[in-house]
Structure 1
Amino acid sequence: MRMPLLFPTLLALGLGACATGPAPIRGEFSAQSPDQAREQGSANASVRWGGSLIAVEPDPTRTCFVVLSRPLSAGGKPIIKRETTDGRFIACRGGFYDPALFAEGRDVTFTGRVEGFEERQIGAFSYRYPKLAADVVYLWPEPANVPDPRYAFPYRSPAFAPWWGYRPFW
């Protein structure tokens, strides 16, 4: 009698787990993007921003990250769309973060408060970066290098597929 409820319950729990992000970056945050913060000049907003690392600048007391902002998924992971960006921002956190691990192009998400703005040059253009005092720095794992399943074992193995010429029969 309890068996018919088991599958829907497990399905609901499994789908619920997919909808949430990692524990360190969960919470309630302002929907303000870095571009909106830069234009409105608003500080002290609690935000969750993320994107692709452009540069990592460690100094003796803290590390600052220059980030090309991207829209975030419901779980907080940056959505990679080459034509879409929310501007740029700088996030700083106390301590040392290794630039070899936090390499250019890696996906990262930060939570914290907007503490102000900093003018920097991008080529000959002066750009006003929102500066984030980060509480959490979350480096997303690099995607695994998964082989194309069409060419994976056993299709290229003569021991298992000699009768169809090393290709699937369909």
Structure 2
Amino acid sequence: MMENTLTHIDESGNARMVDVTEKASTLREAVAVGSITMARSTLSLVKTGGLPKGDVLSTARIAGIMGAKQTSNLIPMCHPIAITSVKIEFTVNDEKNSIGVTAAVKTVGQTGVEMEALTAVSTTLLTIYDMCKAVDKEMEITGVMLIKKTGGKSGTYVRHS
């Protein structure tokens, strides 16, 4: 369902942070995904820990958690949120030479955590890229998207594609 108004623009067309003061605090969760494709040899180095910068997936997981926590400092109209959980999961696909990332973020609050989940996925993928770029300049980050969100007045959203 698409809303007809942009919530971060006031009646005069000025940017604004949405006032959530009167909104009820509810359990809110968002799940986002994305992936990075790389050369077969690069994926092998990630899996065996053979890259000079160290353990790629452990470092990327920590970066994703940190990214979720920093979202309001990066995205101008995001509210600072007391995040209660961030989980980062990896799916290695040997056939496609890719690593899929799933980030699930939770809070109990007055606004959702969609941006935090998307930032977590993006930061995780960018960290993988950064740690592997010395051996592979042709990596490609794709498919970053929200796949689920729950809580709040608008209820549950699940992506259907």
Write 1 or 2 for the structure with the bigger share of helix.
2
Fold shared per TM-score above 0.5: no
TM tier, smaller: under 0.3
> How high is the TM-score relative to the length of structure 1?
0.26
Q: Normalising by the residue count of structure 2, what TM-score does the alignment of the two structures yield? A: 0.26
Rg (Cα) greater in structure: 1
Could you say which structure has the greater relative contact order, defined with CA pairs below 8 angstroms and 6 or more residues apart?
Answer: 2
